[in-house]
Structure 1
Amino acid sequence: MSSDTLWDALTGAGRTPFRSSLHCWVGDRWEGTTWTDVVADAERMTAGLRRCGVRPGTRVATVLTNGPHTVRGLLGVWLAGGTVASLPVPARGMDGAEYTRQLSSICAQLQPELFLLEERMAGLLDEDLRSALRVRTWESMAGTGVVDATPPGPDEPAFIQYSSGSTSAPKGCVLTTAAIQAQLGMVTAMLDGRPGAETTVSWLPLSHDMGIFGTLLTPWVNDWTLHLSTPERFTFAPRTWFGDMAEFGATMTAGTNTALHLGSRIGRSTRLAGGLDVRACIVGAERTEARTLAQVVESLGPYGFRPESLMPAYGLAEATLAVTATPVDEAPRHLVVDSIALADGELVEVDAGAESATAVVAAGVPCAGVEVLGAPGDRLGEISVRSPALASGYFGDPARTADRFVGDTVRTSDLGFVRDGYLYPVGRVDDVISVAGRKVYAREVEQAVDALAGVRRGCTTLIATDGSGRELTLFVEVRRRLEDYRPLAEAVASVAMAKAAVALSECVFLTRNSLPKTPSGKIQRHRCRQMLDAGRFEPLATVRLG
């Protein structure tokens, strides 16, 4: 991205015309158009938006689904002067009533002038919510006419990113135009992409920061071709991710650790239509596992995928998106440490074959202009970030803003350490469970259990069910039903003891897709607890241990 303003970069004003194109998966096929036509269509939406009350400073709520109308509408709202408030899409396991309550709660605080969404999403809103909000579809704004562009100024709010709620109820990060522009500049520099010469493939939800800023706006402002699939298509057929990469000769992509595990299995079960020429595959949104990276190279290496293409990164919505990333053309690095000592905040390197060994993957070095603070190299600390792309706070929540945003830094609530300039994220503060007076990282136990035969990878969660840590329950989604679950429960308990020196009280075995997840694939631990308290799980078996 050049020194153009964000709006000049998105509209192509004052520069060489766009040469690249946008292709969206619609129904069962690709629909393509040039970025130039995307901009023209967005401009022709502004009159309709203005008639619906969108003016400078107006808050417009939306559910950013992966579709061509949404992409055009996003720019249209900005050109009409509005602030886009991106609300979460339904999480896995969330029924219509629960989703309506979530949207109602957010909108009661947000007080949007307008609620926009694709026609196919309109049915998710019940009559009470429709009557309380001014609901319109993106499609109804198309071709309504052009008004003079009045986009948000540099220091004005342009976007409110409501989190998907992996650790708590969604909260809205307020991002100025300047913060977004700074972030897109960072990601562009991080990727070292060639203007007008890269091709990106993505299925990531636009409602997630990786999707909207990483794989939509970054290609857009750099005039890269984008093939935008959908989370639903990926969930139904994970092989389509790298299948699309091979078909379109993609050089850029991004995804989560869990998605990489699922998507890269294509090389084992079927063949790709062609080779892979991937310059950068950003891996973020959750802790990256060394074994996943090794699996990707093993499965896709025969198609030309290189270890140096993998770019573990770290970021958060409070910093717009990226904070650190592995340099281009550098293979990921990791440290093997003792997991029990790690829970006490100590970094003790051990042999990879040690029973309590765990691999911590580096998430790269700080992006240009970013400082990572509070994560010393000799022990764990809470990561704090100073960045020109920081949010200005949480919408309508001054108390939480004052707690997390301190001066020109943000406290991330993530734990990690810096070694030789590289950040090693370990886990969330919220993932730490106190057991008999000591700390246990739930994710260390979960990752170890994920490796057991019969367990669905990325589908386990550890919860202290009595509030004191004396009763620890591990929820496990299994690959297939068993006649007797005790042997698997005992194997799970053995792994938990070896990795974290904790004794499980019980294992609860569940069918596929029982655990609630965010659209990007992270388990919502707080919703697991709510579902447990409400008796909403229907376990295949519950095995008491000890």
Structure 2
Amino acid sequence: MATTGTGLWDLLLRDDSHGVLHHWQEDDGFGHTPWSEVVADAHGMAATLRAAGVRPGSRVATVLTNSAHTLRGLLAVWLAGGAVASFPLPARGQSPQEYGAQLSVLTERLGPTVLLIDQALAPLVPVELAAQLPVLNWTSLYGDHRIEPSPPGPEDTAFIQYSSGSTSLPKGCELSTRAIGTHLHMLHEMTGGRPGAETIVSWLPLSHDMGIFGTMLHAWAFDYDFVLSSPERFGMAPRTWFRDMSEYGATMTAGTNTALHLAARAQGRNILPEPLKLNVCVVGAERVDWETLDATVAAFGPSGLKATAFMPAYGMAEATLAVSCTPLGAVPVTRSFDGAALLDGRIVEVPEDAPGATRLVSNGPPLPGVTVTTKEPDRVSELRVDSPSLASGYLNDAERTAERFHDGILHTGDLGFVHDGEVYFVGRADDLISVGGRNVYTSEIESAVEAMGPVRKGCSALVDMAGGGVSKLVLLLEPKRSSADFALIADQAAAVAREKSGIALSECVFVERGHLPRTPSGKIQRFRCRALLGGEADQLQTIARVQLG
């Protein structure tokens, strides 16, 4: 088991820090602030929060954006004694009215003392909600007063991580101070970090567990330099991720499979200004494709990137973050399995070029102190996790907590298997649909369709829609060109679906670029795709709809 050693507050409030926070400022490039100054400012902000009613046991609703003010405010809430509840950022394709309604529902369930939000997002807070509790922006908290710090105790709830809602409405995982501190030490061991000698670069949203625990708090706790960009900047210019790592000599980073694809595509044949020093690139939040890792090495290899830097991982908010990870310095393991057998739950390894082979990237062995089993041993089934950094449950949701947490074991709802001691994540529960008695992994069909060429990578979603007493399969796509032959693409996609899984598509819906609903970290929200398809108004900004069969 990872040793906890120093507690969370000792790590964040250390008086011997030398690390620097480099924070992106839209108009002025990167600002530079020592961690010691971040801590000093947080003490003053804590006094303002105490005056606003935050004290031990309070819950504070927050929308954590990637600004230096947010980092200070996060610690300030803890110093004042509050538990931070991290609400999701507005998802792509979500209307202001939808987001406002989501804030209202989450706030009603949480019962917070105050809501902290960026000034730019304040107009999204419904008037009725603002009349019920104080709504403050981060910059309004600065002050010169001081209070005696009273952060949450070891077993107290310190953080409530609301899911981004990729498969359902957001739910709040309650994390104790001990769980967070323990997990930061687990990450430290996992990455082989040297206190005061590493630099982490990240654009991941701090509202996401990988962004806040895997990069920001990881860097802060062990006195690394931390370069904080933003998801908006990455989305506009994916090349900035690796350029920042080149400029600042990054040794560590984290991201998603889709983000690596976008960065590699944007890089092309260009060479970075300075050679990369990257030793750790944790890849998670979605299934990892070997083709993406290979393409990323091809794009950045001339600038010094090595395949041994990639650390495909599996994790979730219910475990604070990571559950398993490829060992430091190892080339990621890939194996090929019989695709039809996987659909039946059987694990049959086959040659890479075998008909119907599905190539999977291993997510590595469980972290020290973590045990991963499956509902049905030696079969593809629900992954179950025992970890020292598990959440205590879901806030104010006893039914869901009882369903997912049994005797200290997390029943993840994710599908996968353990093979030769390593975890293979096959898909989220929502990614498995049943049509005519046949199981179908949506990601398999989506990946194959995107490989055809005319469809943007990571921009397809297969959903099942009820209608007329039967279930029909609808494929949503963002084409690379709005002038494409949609009927031809639909026929090709239907052929791929039949070949891969023996199922028939009912319809292909072509959507304008950037309009498939996503979480802030880039995952497609399948449940919102269904909801939007089933709505009366066309909120998906469709270009064309092609009926099949």
- If the length of structure 1 is used for normalisation, what is the TM-score? 0.97
Q: Which residue of 2 aligns with 1:26?
A: 25
Q: Is the 8 A contact 1:81 1:151 kept in 2?
A: yes
Q: Is the 8 A contact 2:216 2:226 kept in 1?
A: yes
Q: Is the 8 A contact 2:276 2:304 kept in 1?
A: yes
Cα distance change, pair 375–421 in 1 and its aligned pair in 2 (3 A): farther
Query: For 1:478 and 1:352, how far apart are their aligned partners in 2?
Result: 29
Give the length in aligned residue pairs: 543
Provide the alpha-carbon RMSD of the alignment: 1.4
Q: Quick one: which amino acid aligns to residue 477 of structure 1?
A: E
Cα distance change, pair 380–201 in 1 and its aligned pair in 2 (3 A): same
Q: Which residue of 2 aligns with 1:85?
A: 85
Q: Quick one: which amino acid aligns to residue 497 of structure 1?
A: R
Q: Does the alignment pair 1:181 with 2:184?
A: no
Q: Which residue of 2 aligns with 1:537?
A: 540
How far residue 110 of structure 1 moved from its aligned partner, in angstroms, is 0.5
Percent of pairs with identical residues: 52
Query: For 2:153 and 2:272, how far apart are their aligned partners in 1?
Result: 46
Give a deviation string over 1:213-268, Cα, whole Å, max 9, x none: 01100010110000000000000000000010111110000001100100122431
Q: Quick one: which amino acid aligns to residue 19 of structure 1?
A: H
Q: Which residue of 1 aligns with 2:411?
A: 411
Query: For 1:121 and 1:390, how far apart are their aligned partners in 2?
Result: 31
For structure 2, the residue ranges without an aligned partner over 5 or more in a row are: none
Q: Is the 8 A contact 1:319 1:391 kept in 2?
A: yes
SS in 2 for 1:120: helix
Cα distance change, pair 2–174 in 1 and its aligned pair in 2 (3 A): closer
Query: For 1:36 and 1:46, how far apart are their aligned partners in 2?
Result: 16
Give a deviation string over 1:413-449, Cα, whole Å, max 9, x none: 1011111111000001221111111211111111111
Query: For 1:394 and 1:429, how far apart are their aligned partners in 2?
Result: 18
Q: Which residue of 2 aligns with 1:10?
A: 12
Q: Is the 8 A contact 1:340 1:501 kept in 2?
A: no
Q: Which residue of 2 aligns with 1:512?
A: 513
Q: Is the 8 A contact 1:377 1:419 kept in 2?
A: no
SS in 2 for 1:151: coil
Bigger drift between 81-90 and 350-359 goes to: 350-359
Query: For 1:289 and 1:33, how far apart are their aligned partners in 2?
Result: 37
Query: For 2:530 and 2:133, how far apart are their aligned partners in 1?
Result: 31
SS in 2 for 1:264: helix
How far residue 488 of structure 1 moved from its aligned partner, in angstroms, is 1.0
Q: Quick one: which amino acid aligns to residue 97 of structure 1?
A: Q
Give a deviation string over 1:2-35, Cα, whole Å, max 9, x none: 711110110005xxx1111001101131111101
Q: Which residue of 1 aligns with 2:492?
A: 491
Q: Quick one: which amino acid aligns to residue 479 of structure 1?
A: K
How far residue 487 of structure 1 moved from its aligned partner, in angstroms, is 1.3
Bigger drift between 89-98 and 340-349 goes to: 340-349
SS in 2 for 1:33: strand
Q: Quick one: which amino acid aligns to residue 181 of structure 1?
A: G
SS in 1 for 2:424: strand
SS in 2 for 1:486: helix
Query: For 2:493 and 2:348, how far apart are their aligned partners in 1?
Result: 24
Q: Is the 8 A contact 1:357 1:499 kept in 2?
A: no
Q: Quick one: which amino acid aligns to residue 491 of structure 1?
A: Q
For structure 1, the residue ranges without an aligned partner over 5 or more in a row are: none
SS in 2 for 1:154: coil
Give a deviation string over 1:372-430, Cα, whole Å, max 9, x none: 12166732020010011000000010000000010111110101111111100000122
Bigger drift between 236-245 and 478-487 goes to: 478-487
SS in 1 for 2:143: coil
Q: Quick one: which amino acid aligns to residue 6 of structure 1?
A: L
- The equivalences for 1:222-237 within 5 A come to 222-237=222-237
Q: Is the 8 A contact 1:433 1:469 kept in 2?
A: no
Query: For 1:312 and 1:379, how far apart are their aligned partners in 2?
Result: 21
Q: Which residue of 1 aligns with 2:425?
A: 425
Bigger drift between 459-468 and 418-427 goes to: 459-468
How far residue 124 of structure 1 moved from its aligned partner, in angstroms, is 2.4
Cα distance change, pair 96–310 in 1 and its aligned pair in 2 (3 A): same
- The equivalences for 1:122-137 within 5 A come to 122-137=122-137
Query: For 2:394 and 2:179, how far apart are their aligned partners in 1?
Result: 14
Bigger drift between 116-125 and 244-253 goes to: 116-125
SS in 2 for 1:488: helix
Bigger drift between 351-360 and 331-340 goes to: 351-360
Query: For 2:187 and 2:212, how far apart are their aligned partners in 1?
Result: 12
Q: Which residue of 1 aligns with 2:502?
A: 501
Bigger drift between 535-544 and 318-327 goes to: 535-544
SS in 2 for 1:465: strand
How far residue 502 of structure 1 moved from its aligned partner, in angstroms, is 1.2
